[in-house]
Amino acid sequence: MDETANHCVAQNGLSNLWFDFDTNFTQPMDVVLRDPVIHKALAEPGISGEIPTAPVHIYNGVTDEVNPIAPVDELVSSYCSGGTPVTYRREEFPPRPIPQAMSTHAVVLATGAFEAFAWLKDRMDRTAPKPSGCDIQTVPTTLLTPQALGVLSPSYIGNVLLAAIGVPIGSGR
């Protein structure tokens, strides 16, 4: 935990790609998630308890062992009910059963990031229409969507890999 607190998302994703929760946790994930404190935190109507007023993009793995899909579905439902425009992608990649030592969480973190970055870029560049309503889709992966492929470039991948090994972005490497 101390080591991951000092790393960025990319470093943690690569470091924990083959983290075996069954071996490293003293209790199964479903028992951990039933802990009253953890359950209460996951049951909140939003990360902050507030409904966002700006559009949001959310993605999660259907079989994610770290961030289970049910609380994310509930979060999205609360946002949509509150009037927030939501683009939500539920990724079913990699399909179960995956290799015992591979983390669905880390894989989907990486595969979903490209479409999420494209969505953010469109908002920042104001090149896409303002989202309205909720667009919820369960897909095998968003990695191969036209939006994701649009941001997938050698320089982007190089920056992600450099960040994953701890090189600060914009360090003049």
At residue 5, the pLDDT reads: 67
Cβ-Cβ contacts under 8 Å for 11 (sequence gap 6 or more): 163, 164, 165, 166
Q: How far is CA 169 from CA 15, 20, 114, 124, 166, in A?
A: 18, 30, 17, 20, 9
Predicted local distance difference test score (pLDDT) of residue 171: 52
Give average pLDDT by consecutive 10-residue segment, the chain, 173 residues: 66 68 73 79 63 93 85 92 96 63 73 88 86 94 86 71 67 49
Q: Given this model, what pLDDT does residue 173 score?
A: 45
Contact at 8 Å (CB) between 142 and 114? yes
SS3 88: strand
Positive/negative CA dihedral, 13, 17, 22, 23 = negative
Of 57, 91, 92, the closest CA to residue 75 belongs to 57
The span from the CA of 141 to the CA of 139, in Å, is 5
Which pLDDT score is estimated for 84?
Answer: 96
| pLDDT for the residue 81 | 94
pTM of the model: 0.67
